Amino acid sequence: MSLEGFESLIKKLNRIADPKEALKKGVSLSTKKVQGDAKELAAVNEGQLQNSIYENVEEKPTEIIGSVYTNVPQAVYTEFGTGPKGMAAPKDLPPEIANQLHYRNDMWWIHESQIDSAIAEKYHFIKFETAEGVFYGTYGQEPQPFMYPALKQNQEIIKKHIADEIRLDIKKKG
């Protein structure tokens, strides 16, 4: 079996002393694209979640790792939902992620000192007044995914960015 142009491709690839820079640029373009889409898809209340979505490219001796992440605690609850509402909602996730999700199965109560009454009313929490103060009850929230969809919808673009940068580097050096 022979591949037409294979030897020429090998010669061109050998001219690239260090393909890591091209790879790193392709990964960087990809993480920026996924970050932008995740910000567009993120639920917006006061913008804290949207403004906390970052991207990073890390170079290790044998790999280039692109990450898109957030460091706000509510992000995981927004992405996967909470309580019975979150558990019941359909999710488009790989099994290795979906099988790790665990939800509380009953209503829980939040004391008025832990939540703003306007927020409790906005999300239609159940209000219960006691001698210890007002409590708001909730069955959780449905998922509002933003990270996984941003990655999934860009799978082909990620491959294209990386291939384009390698191709461009070969052209420059060839």
Q: What CA–CA distance (Å, rounded) separates 91 from 26?
A: 30
DSSP 125: P
Q: Which residues have CB under 8 Å from 38's CB, separation 6+?
A: 53, 68, 146, 147, 150
Q: What CA–CA distance (Å, rounded) separates 39 from 34?
A: 9
pLDDT of residue 1: 28
CB of 99 closer than 8 Å to CB of 135: no
pLDDT of residue 108: 92
Residues (pLDDT < 50) of the chain are: 1-3
Token pair belonging to 80 = 């996967």
pLDDT of residue 46: 82
CB of 43 closer than 8 Å to CB of 49: yes
Angle subtended at Cα 78 by Cα 73 and Cα 81, rounded to the nearest 5 degrees: 115
Q: What CA–CA distance (Å, rounded) separates 110 from 132?
A: 12
pTM (two decimals): 0.82
pLDDT of residue 45: 83
Q: What CA–CA distance (Å, rounded) separates 50 from 19?
A: 34
